[in-house]
Amino acid sequence: MMGRFVEPGEPDEGTNDDLYEYLVNHELWLEDGRRYHICTAHEGARKVLARGRIPGAFRCPRGERACPMRAILDAAGGRDVRLAVLHG
């Protein structure tokens, strides 16, 4: 966001062109929903991460009931999960 310094008593312009221009010219990210942890404690999990894709059939190598990677896949409805790094 940006702001503009104005003198006290200066009338408003009536429109907020600066804010509008910012909103239509910048990509916005709204983060909603749950965040998930990715397990790197086991070699099998690290191999999956190195490929950048968690296959829907992935099974926790440690047999953990609360496997964080399985939680992600359960939310994916049986689909694979492709991983990417977000810059910004």
CA distance 39 to 69: 7
Furthest-apart CA pair in the chain: how many Å? 67
Domain locations in the chain as residue ranges: 17-82
CB 49 within 8 A of CB 83: yes
Residue pLDDT, tens place only, 22-47:
656 766 565 666 665 666 667 888 88
Lowest mean pLDDT across 44-48, 51-55, 63-67, 83-87: 83-87
Residue-level pLDDT at 2: 41
CB 48 within 8 A of CB 54: yes
Residue-level pLDDT at 1: 39
Q: Which residue has the higher pLDDT, 53 or 38?
A: 53
